[in-house]
Amino acid sequence: MDWYFYIAVPAILSQFLFLYYICRNYRYALQKYAKERSYSPRTALIVPCRGVEPDFEKNITSFFSQAYDNYILWFVVENPSDPACEKLKTLISRLAPLSKAKDVRILIAGPAKSSAQKVHNLLYCYQQLPADIEVMAFADSDACIKPNWLSHIVYPLQNDRYGAAAGYRWFVPKRNNLASLALSAINAKVAQLLGHSIFNQAWGGSMAIRVDTFRKIGLDKIWQTAASDDLSLTYAVKKSKMRLAFVPACLVASYESCTFSELFEFARRQFIITRVYKPGIWSFALFGTLYSILGLWAGLVLAIYAYSISANHLALYAAVPIIFLAAQLLSAILRQTMISKLLTDNWPKLKRAAAADILASSLWTILLFFFILSSAFGRTIVWRGIKYRLISPTETVILSQDK
């Protein structure tokens, strides 16, 4: 079995390269997070709402509390009968007088005809913008942002090489059931890939783009038939040969609990959207997770077999699964250490999720692979009660909608 040398050595080296990449992202996150930001272009903070979610009041309050002197705050819903409307009116009357936001309002976008409802709502807001708005920032109503969020999310946009800037979500389990812990761990694996990296992707719950860039890259047209606000933005930015900045200070806590059926529906939907909009990233995720699984478990089986037949180079056989396991454990420790420093207020609630991520890191990789594989077929998704068929990154068909 001397041929194994030519497999084992590259496999081991790949894990050291992977750890180098993860460590670089870790340092990037801590260094960028700590910096003060002073750039403050005229900005519209746009928050799409649909229904009243748990912690709705807490999340909405955070948008009024931005330490930023030059912004307007717009909430947008599909229709005035949305339960969020009345709640928003109450919060606006109470919080607007205390906020630095210059103009606070609720916009009614109407039903979408050729795009996802959320994308339609955001595009409607863009069409109503005053001429002096330089930057659009977007946040989701299920995210709770920090007072410095807006100053951080717009800061990279003063550099022309960046087409957009984005944070990401970090799921904080509301209940520590197994499915919710799995959701937090799997999402954490994805978040760890963001940094000083070509893998950066926008996330609609925490992103910003200059208005002139929005027009330049054609998002005003792409969004007319898009299913995903963030991946279509990522698609357009990268197609235009611009970079996407990841902003660690704009990682936001998202409080969720779920069952395994809800987790499967969510994960499959996300990866179907990724497969349509960014097939290269989807393929990398599929084969990357498969590679991690084979490196550990197939490597372990081969090591046991080599021992049973007293093969040469037993140390090399043993090294492969040990190094793959060590790399997965160290990666989990690094991402949880990072989030303990970035989301300090949420860390007490995250300790069980962190322990689950570290102790079962290899098992979450298998579950992640299953979710990605399940998205290999089909282009139909259900999102907030609306069924869509994704034709391409620039074309979506609405199939049905709950009344």
Exposure string for 200-231, b = 16+ CB within 10 A, e = fewer: bbbbbbbbbbbbebbeebebeebbbbbbbbbb
Question: Residue 92: beta bridge partners?
Answer: none
What's the pLDDT at 401? 63
In tens, the pLDDT along 18-29 reads: 999 999 999 999
Question: Residue 239: beta bridge partners?
Answer: none
Q: Is the dihedral of CA 296, 302, 306, 311 positive or negative?
A: negative
State yes or no: pLDDT of 226 exceeds 70. Answer: yes
What's the pLDDT at 34? 80
DSSP string, 4-46: GHHHHHHHHHHHHHHHHHHHHHHHHHHHHHT--------EEEE
Beta-strand relationship, 43-48 and 135-139: parallel
**Residue 403: pLDDT band with limits 50, 70, 90:** very low
What's the number of CA atoms in the CB half-sphere (13 Å) around residue 303?
19
State yes or no: pLDDT of 123 exceeds 80. Answer: yes
In tens, the pLDDT along 186-217 reads: 999 999 999 988 889 999 999 999 999 999 99
Residue 26's CB: how many other CB atoms inside 10 A? Answer: 19
Spatial CA neighbour of 58 closest among 138, 144, 139 = 144
Q: Which long-range contacts link 306-312 to residues 24+ away (Cβ below 8 Å)?
A: 306/1, 306/4, 311/1, 312/1, 312/2
What's the pLDDT at 313? 83
**Residue 152: pLDDT band with limits 50, 70, 90:** very high
What's the pLDDT at 1? 60
User: Which is more confidently placed, 380 or 55?
Assistant: 380
State yes or no: pLDDT of 362 exceeds 90. Answer: yes
Provide the CATH number for the domain formed by 35-260 in this structure: 3.90.550.10
**Residue 6: pLDDT band with limits 50, 70, 90:** confident
